[in-house]
Amino acid sequence: MGSFLVHGIILQHNNFREVDRLLTVYTEEMGKLQVIARGARKISSKMAGSLEPLLEVQMMFVHGRYNNTVTSVEVLNSWQPLKTDVDKVQFANYISMILDRSTRDQQRDGRIFHLYKGTLEAIEKQPFLSQQRSITIWFFVWQLLFYLGHQPELNNCLNCRIKIAAKKNFFTMSKGGVICSSCRSQSRGNVSISNNAIKILRLLISQPRDTLNNIIIGRSIMTELDGLTTSYLNYTQEGDFRINDFLLAV
């Protein structure tokens, strides 16, 4: 057995046994962890209020043979302004769900932790407008996929390696990137991609999130990128994320 002190954000919790809680925490030091809070569902529990989703915490836990058990927890940030807005809470929980389903336990990557924390901060502070909502999800998903090893090729055709020109191009899910019209038949899972969408994807991967807040993005491009982001996330993570439907609902 050993004790560990970690800095993390609680993604979710579930009831466990009679009075315990099973927490999923994304930590800066150890990646995603499953930890058990003994007796956390008891009325007398001193830790109960510190074990809710969307809390940034400093947590001490003991690593046992079968489980990690929480011994102490301190709340560092509760994102209280965010939690006064039901739509923003729903949005933050959706981001947490994407992170949870896309990562494995104890695969450390501090970049992912800071991406997640920065996204929650952006949700808390920014106006809850349609374009900002889409940009927030696009940035989070494409950065997350980059850190997970799924960076798309956006500058040269994946097949012939010719520099992508401002004409008819396609995004291939199977190879992860853009191909020119001449090479379309050599890849599967292709979808048409506009030149403006390619430009925005390049910014999403290479520039800070706020860079895109000053760009006016047309409705057709937003719809295109919502669909492409959903499709590539589903393809790489073998999931059923429905980003398009979620954005229409909030």
Cβ contacts of residue 215 below 8 Å, gap of 6+?
A: 200, 203
The CATH number of 2-77 is 2.40.50.140
CATH topology of domain 126-249: de novo design (two linked rop proteins) (1.20.1440)
The arithmetic mean of pLDDT across residues 93-119, rounded, is 93
- Locate CATH 2.40.50.140 in the chain: 2-77
- Locate CATH 1.20.1440.120 in the chain: 126-249
Please tell me the predicted confidence (pLDDT) of residue 193.
95
pLDDT-based confidence at residue 147 (cuts at 50, 70, 90)? very high
120 to 55, 113, 176: CA distances (angstroms): 10, 11, 27
pLDDT-based confidence at residue 1 (cuts at 50, 70, 90)? low
Mean per-residue pLDDT of the chain: 89
In 54-81, which positions are buried (b, 16+ CB within 10 angstroms) versus exposed (e)? Answer: bbbbebebeeeeeebbbeebeeeeebee
Q: Which residue has the higher pLDDT, 130 or 118?
A: 118
227, 244 contact by CB (below 8 A): yes
Q: What pTM value is reported for the model?
A: 0.91
- Residue among 104, 138, 152 at smallest CA distance from 229: 138
Q: How far apart are CA 174 and CA 189, in angstroms?
A: 6
Query: pLDDT exceeding 90 applies to what percent of the chain?
Result: 55
Lowest mean pLDDT among 69-78, 183-192, 233-242: 183-192
Please tell me the predicted confidence (pLDDT) of residue 64.
74
Residue 66 has pLDDT above 70, yes or no: yes
Residue 245 has pLDDT above 80, yes or no: no
The arithmetic mean of pLDDT across residues 137-144, rounded, is 95
Size of the chain in residues: 250
pLDDT tens-digit map of 119-137: 999 999 887 778 888 999 9
